[in-house]
Amino acid sequence: MKRLLTLIMCLCCLQVLAKDYDVKDFGVEGNGTTLNTRSIQAAIDYVSTHGGGRLVFTPGNYVTGTIYMKSNVILHLERGASILGSLNPWDYDKDPYINWKSLIYAIKQENIGITGQGIINGRGFDNAMNTLNLVHRGLIEDELKYDRVREWNRPENIYFRECKNIKMIGITLKDPGSWNQTYDQCQNILVDSMTVDSKSYWNNDGIDIVDCKDVVIRNSHFDAADDAICFKSHDANAICENVLVENCTARSSASGLKFGTVSRGGFRNFVIRNLTVYDTYRSAITFAAVDGGLVENILVDGVRSINTGNVIFLRIGDRWSKGKRPVMRNITIKNVYAEVPMDKPDKGYNYEGPIEDLPRNISPASIIGLPNHLIENVTLENIEMVYPGAGNPYYAKRGLTPEELDGIPEMEAAYPEFSQFKELPAWGFYIRHAKNINFKNVTFRAMAPDYRPSIVADDLQGGSFTGMTFDEVKAGNKEQIFLHNSKNVEIQK
C-alpha cells in the first residue's frame, strides 16, 4: 500500500514536471507585431514557480525583446511557431553579469531547454543596422572597429551561463545579430537535431561552447558566416571537457570545427565522430591554443571535408597567455577525406570570408607550434587530401633554403589562421616546432604541378611517415618530404 502511494506520488510529480502551458493564456500574441517581452517573461516566471513544465508556442510569430529562462521551464516551439527578435535595439538587455547582449538568457538555472520544430529568428541583420544607426547618431557608444558595431553590442539569440541540464532539441536558430548561441560554464548539455542558419551578419557563429563539461552535440546542421561548431575557453581556471560531437554537418565562411580563438583554460577529452564540412572558407578543423590553454586527449574519427579551403590547422601561439604555458598533445585524427578547391569555397554565401594574406598559393594543412612550446603526440591515420596544386613561384615563393625556412615568422601574438604565414613551403602539409608526429597511411594528391614539395617539417623532434602516397601531376621523382632542423624522423614509403 505504501509502495503504491509512493508510485502514485511519483507519477503526480512527473505529471507536474511535464505540464504544458499555452503561452497565449498569458496574453502573448503570435501576430508578428505585438511586442511580447513582458508577457513571455511573466509566463516563464509563473511556470518556474509552479513546479515547472513546458511553455508551448503554437504556430504564430512571437515578437519579443530579451527574456530570461528559469529553472524547470522548457520553451516548446511547435512547427510553425517562430520567436522573432524585436527590431528595436533598446528592447535588448546587456546583462551586467554577462556583459554581452542576448535575446534569450539563462543565468544559474537548472533543467531548462528549448524544444520542438519551431524557429528562433534574431533578425540580426536589421538589429545590427538599427544599432549602427544609433551609434552614428551618438546614442550608443561603440568604437565601430572594422566599421561595424562591436559583437557584444549586438544581440545573440541565446546566452546560457552557469546552467545545468540543458536540452536543445529539434529547433532551428536563425539570423542572430552576433554569435548565435553561447553556453558558458554550463554542465550537462544535449544539442540534438538542431538546424542553425546563421549568416545574417558579422560574427554569426553556429554554436559556441565555452568552458562547459559533459556536452553532447549530435545529428545537427550548422551553416554559419563565422565559425560553425566552436569551443572556447574564456577563463584561465576553467576548461571545456568531456565532449562528444557526432553526426553533424557544418558550413562556414570561417572554420568548420574550432577550438579557440579564445583559449585560456583549454579543451580536454573530446570525441568528434562523423563530421562533414563543406563550402567552408578556412579550415575544416582548427585547434588553437594561443592564450595559454591546454588541448589534450582529442579523437577525431571520420571527417569529410569537401570544397573547404584548408583541412587541418593545429596551432600553439602566445597571445594573451600571461605567462601560462600553452600545451597541445595527444591528438588523433583519422579516417579523413578532403578536397581543397582552387576557387573560393564559400563563394555566394552571405558574409563571405575576406580575401586576405595574399599573395600566397594554396596553403597546406599545418601543425605549427612555437620554439619553446612544441605540439606533441599527434597521429594522422587513413587520410586522403586532394589539392589543386598549381603553386606558382612567380606569384608567391617560399623555397627550401635554410634562410627561407628560418625566415618564416613565428607570429606568436597574431590571430591564428591557416593563411597567416602567407606563402608556406609545402603544398600538402607543413609542420614546425612539433614532437612525435606520426603519419600512417596518408595520401596527398595534387591536380596540377606545384613548385613545392608535399610535406615540409621544420624542427620536428621525432615522428614517422609510413604508408605515404604522393600523387602529383607531372612530378616525376620529385622528393615529396623535406626535413629541416629535424631529428629521429622515420620515413617508410
Neighbours of 72 (CB within 10 A): 19
Neighbours of 349 (CB within 10 A): 19
Return d(Cα 379, Cα 435) in angstroms, integer.
Answer: 11
Q: Are 151 and 202 in contact (CB under 8 A)?
A: yes
Per CB under 8 A, does 146 bind another protein? yes
* List 19, 94, 136, 478, residue binding another protein (CB under 8 A): 136
Per CB under 8 A, does 395 bind another protein? yes
| Contact letters for another protein, residues 81-120 (x by CB under 8 A) | ----------------------------------------
One-letter identity of residue 57: F
* List 22, 25, 356, 406, residue binding another protein (CB under 8 A): 356
Closest approach of another protein to the CB of residue 304, in Å: 27
Per CB under 8 A, does 399 bind another protein? no
Per CB under 8 A, does 59 bind another protein? no
Those residues with Cβ within 8 angstroms of residue 382's Cβ, 6 or more apart along the chain or in another chain: 334, 335, 336, 440, 441, 442
- Which residue, 132 or 169, is less far from another protein as judged by CB? 132
* List 96, 99, 138, 394, residue binding another protein (CB under 8 A): 394
Strand partners, 288: 315
- Residues in contact with another protein, total (CB under 8 A)? 23
Q: Which of residues 165-224 bind another protein (CB under 8 A)?
A: 201-202
- Which residue, 107 or 411, is less far from another protein as judged by CB? 411
Return d(Cα 331, Cα 335) in angstroms, integer.
Answer: 14
Window contacting another protein (CB under 8 A); options: 241-249, 317-325, 355-363, 443-451: 355-363
* List 147, 403, 476, 492, residue binding another protein (CB under 8 A): 147
Q: Is 41 helix (H, G, I), strand (E, B) or coil?
A: helix
| Contact letters for another protein, residues 113-132 (x by CB under 8 A) | ------------x---x--x
Q: Are 334 and 301 in contact (CB under 8 A)?
A: yes
CA neighbours closer than 13 Å in the CB half-sphere of residue 51: 10
Per CB under 8 A, does 393 bind another protein? yes
Dmax over Cα atoms in the chain, in whole Å? Answer: 89
Look at the chain and count its residues.
493
Q: Are 220 and 192 in contact (CB under 8 A)?
A: yes
Return d(Cα 403, Cα 283) in angstroms, integer.
Answer: 28
- Which one-letter DSSP state was computed for residue 90? G
Closest approach of another protein to the CB of residue 232, in Å: 21
- Which residue, 422 or 484, is less far from another protein as judged by CB? 422
Per CB under 8 A, does 51 bind another protein? no
Return d(Cα 174, Cα 198) in angstroms, integer.
Answer: 5
* List 281, 351, 430, 439, residue binding another protein (CB under 8 A): 351
Closest approach of another protein to the CB of residue 146, in Å: 4
Residues 426-446 as b or e (16 or more Cβ within 10 Å = b): bbbbbbbbbbbbbbbebbbbb
Per CB under 8 A, does 337 bind another protein? no
* List 99, 323, 355, 476, residue binding another protein (CB under 8 A): 355
- Which residue, 105 or 201, is less far from another protein as judged by CB? 201
* List 6, 15, 372, 392, residue binding another protein (CB under 8 A): 392
Neighbours of 491 (CB within 10 A): 13
- Per CB under 8 A, residues contacting another protein are 125, 129, 132, 136, 144, 146-148, 201-202, 349-352, 354-356, 358-359, 392-395
